[in-house]
């Protein structure tokens, strides 16, 4: 790893330009809204047409396995082609695949295996598309001259806002019109997100930060090969003990959360008689309070101890959700617990995003984030399969209790490790500051995948 890194900051620009940051955040809101609508509509569609929790979990696997695998491998391509190009093209392909599902079903041409193929295509495109949007945040913050922690906080607010609107729209659509309407809305949001990125962001966005060693014309004519770029990202990733600890912890919680969202909650809604509207209400309330948490994080997180806030957030958003459903609590208590959990979850992604953007050199950002994120998301494709099999074997209540216990044990034990003290070490530095000589020349740390 070279000891010099050239990073363009906002001070290099003649004035503040908020358009790229607004474009990235708006596209993220649109994309996540559609995904959250689909997260209710698609499982309910499978449950309604097959009646099988196992097949519902299989559909979730078909989407998330390609998501993780393709995302892990496309980091070098995002760094080379530019995240703007990757984002709008993958969203366009996703729009076509998502739109074919209701069209084929209406014509009676949607056997289960075709549904799996369409969902797999969407997952394969979503991986690099989500990665590309995230990679553009630090440069957009530079152009707007916005502090990095505030930019990641605003990104968290955008995601949580979409997580509020999406489930409310999805639950209402499924309850009033049917799940196919939700799938059609998902296709429309992919198309709109593609258009926003193509129009609002300048060409070359995300490609301005390159290694100083590659700044000469000869280096530009002979760019590093794909596998060399991939290896550089992997070498950087594996050298960080904090990253490895966080990735394992978040990977386990993501697996549990995936089973909870795609199987356990829909099965609970069906067995309790609350229906899809309850799923939308729970997710919308959790998303609304997460917006509040993210807004507070954007305003004051730079002055708070990250480790304490991080694990407090996990404590609030973790095991209580599982227990309140397992105990058959009344709906008002379920909503209250989800509201508190959402507030805690709102602090997580801004902290993780700030740690990433402070520590990873910009020219490695795509490939490092792709690898770390994919490792932390590796269990998500299995979450629905495991939860579906558990419900089939032992029933809903034991599955909820065991899942909640595993969630609590994972976050508690991981929090005892000493690596977490490193979360505040490079607070406020530009990406790759450690590699460039700041903070004692310490190596930078890439990001674990966002958990919620």
Residue identified by tokens 């005892």 is 416
Residue identified by tokens 């794909």 is 226
The predicted-structure confidence for 272-284, as pLDDT tens digits, reads as follows 888 888 888 898 8
Pick from 49, 452, 38: nearest CA to 279: 38
Distance CA 244, CA 234 (A): 12
| 3 state DSSP class of 74 | coil
pLDDT value of position 174: 83
Contacts of 403 (CB under 8 A, 6+ apart): 256, 259, 260, 264, 322, 387
Answer whether 265's CB lies under 8 Å from 279's CB: yes
The residues of the chain scoring below 70 in pLDDT are 1-15, 149, 206-224, 301-302, 359, 362, 424-452
> In Å, how far are 75, 111, 192, 383 from 372, measured between CA atoms?
10, 35, 28, 19
**Percent of the chain beyond pLDDT 90?**
22
DSSP code of residue 451: -
pLDDT value of position 390: 92
Distance CA 31, CA 139 (A): 20
**Tokens (6 digits) for 274:** 């609350």
Distance CA 447, CA 242 (A): 10
pLDDT value of position 393: 92
Q: Which ranges in 145-222 belong to alpha helices (H)?
A: 148-176, 179-200, 217-221
pLDDT value of position 55: 86
pLDDT value of position 222: 52
CA dihedral for 275, 279, 281, 282, sign (positive or negative): positive
pLDDT value of position 452: 40
**Tokens (6 digits) for 363:** 């020219």
Distance CA 320, CA 300 (A): 26
Q: What is the DSSP string of 106-167?
A: HTT---HHHHHHHHHHHHHHHHHHHHHHHHHHHHHHHHHT--HHHHHHHHHHHHHHHHHHHH
Pick from 28, 83, 362: nearest CA to 202: 83
Work out the burial of residue 227: count CB atoms within 10 Å of its CB; fewer than 13 is exposed, 13-18 middle, 19 or more buried: exposed
Answer whether 1's CB lies under 8 Å from 127's CB: no
pTM over 0.85, yes/no = no
Write 102-110 long-range contacts (CB < 8 A, 24+): 102/180, 102/181, 102/183, 102/184, 102/187, 105/180, 106/180
DSSP code of residue 358: H
**Tokens (6 digits) for 276:** 């899809």
Helix axes 226-238, 365-376, angle to 10 degrees: 60
Contacts of 10 (CB under 8 A, 6+ apart): 16, 141, 142, 143, 144, 145, 146
Longest dimension (CA), the chain: 68
CA dihedral for 375, 62, 229, 90, sign (positive or negative): negative
Contacts of 325 (CB under 8 A, 6+ apart): 264, 265, 268, 334, 400
């Amino acid at each position: 790893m070279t000891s010099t890194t050239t990073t363009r900051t906002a001070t290099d620009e003649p004035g503040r330009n908020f358009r790229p940051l607004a474009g990235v955040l708006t596209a993220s809101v649109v994309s996540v809204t559609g995904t959250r609508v689909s997260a209710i509509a698609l499982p309910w569609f499978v449950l309604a047409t097959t009646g099988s929790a196992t097949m519902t979990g299989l559909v979730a696997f078909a989407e998330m396995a390609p998501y993780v695998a393709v995302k892990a491998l496309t980091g070098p391509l995002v760094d080379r082609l530019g995240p703007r190009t990757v984002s709008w093209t993958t969203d366009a392909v996703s729009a076509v695949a998502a739109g074919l599902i209701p069209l084929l079903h209406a014509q009676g041409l949607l056997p289960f295996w075709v549904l799996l193929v369409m969902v797999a295509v969407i997952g394969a495109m979503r991986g690099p598309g989500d990665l590309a949007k995230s990679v553009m945040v630090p440069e957009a913050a530079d152009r707007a001259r916005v502090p990095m922690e505030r930019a990641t906080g605003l990104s968290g607010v955008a995601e949580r806002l979409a997580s509020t609107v999406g489930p409310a729209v999805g639950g209402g659509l499924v309850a009033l019109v049917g799940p196919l309407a939700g799938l059609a809305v998902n296709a429309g949001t992919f198309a709109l997100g593609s258009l926003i990125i193509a129009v609002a962001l300048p060409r070359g966005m995300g490609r301005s930060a390159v290694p100083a060693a590659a700044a000469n014309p000869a280096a530009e004519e002979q760019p590093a090969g794909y596998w060399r770029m991939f290896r550089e990202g992997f070498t950087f990733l594996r050298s960080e003990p904090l990253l490895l600890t966080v990735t394992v912890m978040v990977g386990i919680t993501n697996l549990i959360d995936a089973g909870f969202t795609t199987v356990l909650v829909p099965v609970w809604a069906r067995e309790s008689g609350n229906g899809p509207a309850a799923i939308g209400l729970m997710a919308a309330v959790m998303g609304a309070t997460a917006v509040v948490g993210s807004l507070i994080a954007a305003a004051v997180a730079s002055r708070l101890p990250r480790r304490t806030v991080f694990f407090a957030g996990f404590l609030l958003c973790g095991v209580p959700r599982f227990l309140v459903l397992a105990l058959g609590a009344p709906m008002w208590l379920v909503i209250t617990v989800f509201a508190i959990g959402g507030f805690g979850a709102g602090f997580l992604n801004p902290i993780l995003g700030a740690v990433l953007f402070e520590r990873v050199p910009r020219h490695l950002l795509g490939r490092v984030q792709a690898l770390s994120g994919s490792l932390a998301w590796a269990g998500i494709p299995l979450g629905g399969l495991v939860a579906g099999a558990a419900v089939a074997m032992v029933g809903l209540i034991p599955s909820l209790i065991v899942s909640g216990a595993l969630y609590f044990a994972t976050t508690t034990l991981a929090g005892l490790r000493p690596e977490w003290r490193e979360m505040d070490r490079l607070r406020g530095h530009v990406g790759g500051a450690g590699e460039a000589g700041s903070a004692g020349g310490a190596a930078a740390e890439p990001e674990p995948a966002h958990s919620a």
